[in-house]
Amino acid sequence: MVFAIIDLGTNTFNLLIAKRLPNNTFQKIFNTKIAVKLGQGTINSGYIADVPFQRGINALKQYQQYLLDYNVEHTFAFATSAIRSASNGIEFVTQAKKITGITITVIDGNEEADLIYYGNRMAVQMNDEISLIMDIGGGSTEFILANQHTIFWKQSYLLGAARLLEKFNLSDPITPSEIIKFNTYLKEQLISLMEAAQIFKPKELIGSS
């Protein structure tokens, strides 16, 4: 069976096409990504503006052609922070289905954290000790405290790179006063993470994006 997975992130839409083999493993056939920047200019206002909205639809139209080219039998498309938090997120999902035939499932922060954990567990050698997984997205950042067997704690925060850049409009290079303001905000937002880390005492940080 040839299948495709589309990750509709805030900044990037990722496409992976693979084939399931008889021994229940997978062979990667094709993968690509398109920068869509869905949250450009409006991510903290809670909607997708017209230009990035159309960029996202155009990206899916390109992906639709790849699905045909590779004779994909099943497509699994998942939308994350920008679409799930936008007032016109459902409109985007509806238009995508109408124009491309691709059905999009919008997942919440908990589901996203679960998938991040399983992906990292496949990619990184974890053991019985607890790790802190930090997945940096454009709209949200997920933190998961887990080992190779299970998740002990997880949370999704609206602290993605696109949200933070729009909120703070930082200088380049960043100034000392901006660093203080930025770090103060993060400490306020991540109190629950600090509390969980004190309880579970992770031994390493695993970063993903």
Kindly indicate the confidence band of residue 45, based on its pLDDT and cuts at 50, 70 and 90: very high
Positive or negative, the CA dihedral 128, 132, 136, 140 is positive
Per-residue pLDDT of 136-182, as tens digits, reads 999 999 999 999 999 999 999 999 999 999 999 999 999 999 999 99
Residue 163 has which token pair?
A: 């949200």
**Distances 22 to 17, 25, 27, 30, 112 between C-alpha atoms, Å:** 17, 7, 11, 19, 28
d(CA 145, CA 16): 27
List Cα–Cα distances, 106 to 80, 102, 165, in angstroms.
Answer: 6, 13, 24
Q: What is the DSSP letter of 45?
A: G
122 has pLDDT over 90: yes
- Give mean pLDDT, residues 122-143: 97
Across 48-65, average pLDDT: 98
Per-residue pLDDT at 24: 84
For the question of whether the overall pTM of this predicted structure is more than 0.95, the answer is: no
b/e burial code for range 8-29 (CB count within 10 A of at least 16 → b): bbbbbbebbbbeeeeeeeeeeb
